Amino acid sequence: YLKFGCVGVREVFRAVVQAHGAGHALIRQLFWRAFYDQVAYHFPGVLAGQVTPGKSNESLNRKYDGIPWVSSQPLFDAWCAGRTGFPIVDAGMRQLLATGYMHNRVRMVSANFLVKVLHIDWRLGERFFAQNLVDYDPSSNSGGWQWASGGGADSQQYYRVFSPWLQAEHHDPSCVYIKRHIPELRTIPVADILAWHSAHIKYPTTYSTPYPPPIVADYRVEAKRSMAMYKKNLN
């Protein structure tokens, strides 16, 4: 409704304060939205690829534009389809494909995974979200992805890599969200889903479940590789 101007941000702000008080979490999200609008207005290069043929969206911190991203269509396709073998990531991507929406926590986890574990250019993820999110907003989407890549304003530090396993354990300990969006895992015990990195060997994809094993053997190895890549190119 905000995106298409059906309601004004001041109207939403007032309604939230009246109903829930000024300390409600939604107020902070309204501030983030306004902040990213200001970033895009004052630094239009962050959306350059969307308005200028032949250009790419720029990182707010231009040093991050020199990162040598991995070019792997199979890895990117698996991420887009929710077939990485990392359940919390895949559940989010499948929710996006099915509904046009994804929970904010899983947006952060999925973006972090694409950039820091698969080492794929954040712009590809930004574009995929733009093509599939019902609530897509250019400024907010750019800000979120630049937060994940490390090159934006008030960004996540480049050396911070989410553990997909701990994120699932902390935010979906009973795997309710995961099982809702990944039907192949609905009959799998919760303990095995949360430890899919090792438990998958009990469920060969050829006959027991079509859900894949993790697309990378150990996310921690990829996290170290990511940190080395960033450090080398930013120093």
| 135 in a labelled binding site | yes
Q: What is the pTM of this model?
A: 0.92
What's the rounded mean pLDDT across residues 74-94?
Answer: 98
The 10 Å Cβ neighbour count of residue 15 is: 12
Provide the 3-class DSSP secondary structure of residue 171. helix
Residue 31 among known ligand-binding residues: yes
Residue type present at position 19: A
The verdict on whether residue 32 carries a ligand-binding annotation is yes
Q: Is 137 annotated as a binding residue?
A: yes
Query: Is residue 65 marked as binding?
Result: no
For the chain, the structural domain boundaries read 9-42, 61-235
What DSSP assignment string belongs to 177-221? Answer: HHHHH-GGGTTS-HHHHHTHHHHGGGS-TTTT--PPPPSSS-HHH
Q: What fold, for 61-235?
A: DNA Cyclobutane Dipyrimidine Photolyase, subunit A; domain 3 (1.10.579)
Q: How confident is the model over 124-176, as pLDDT tens digits?
A: 999 999 999 999 999 999 999 999 999 998 766 788 899 999 999 999 999 99
Residues 6+ apart with CB under 8 A from 34: 9
pLDDT score for 124 = 97
In whole angstroms, give the CA distance from residue 217 to residue 176: 25
Q: Is 168 annotated as a binding residue?
A: no
Q: Is 128 among the annotated ligand-binding positions?
A: no
What share of the chain in percent tops pLDDT 90?
A: 87
4 is in an annotated binding site: no
Is 101 among the annotated ligand-binding positions? no
pLDDT digits (tens, 9 = 90+) for 177-213: 999 999 999 999 999 999 999 999 998 876 666 999 9
Which two three-digit tokens encode residue 150?
């490390």
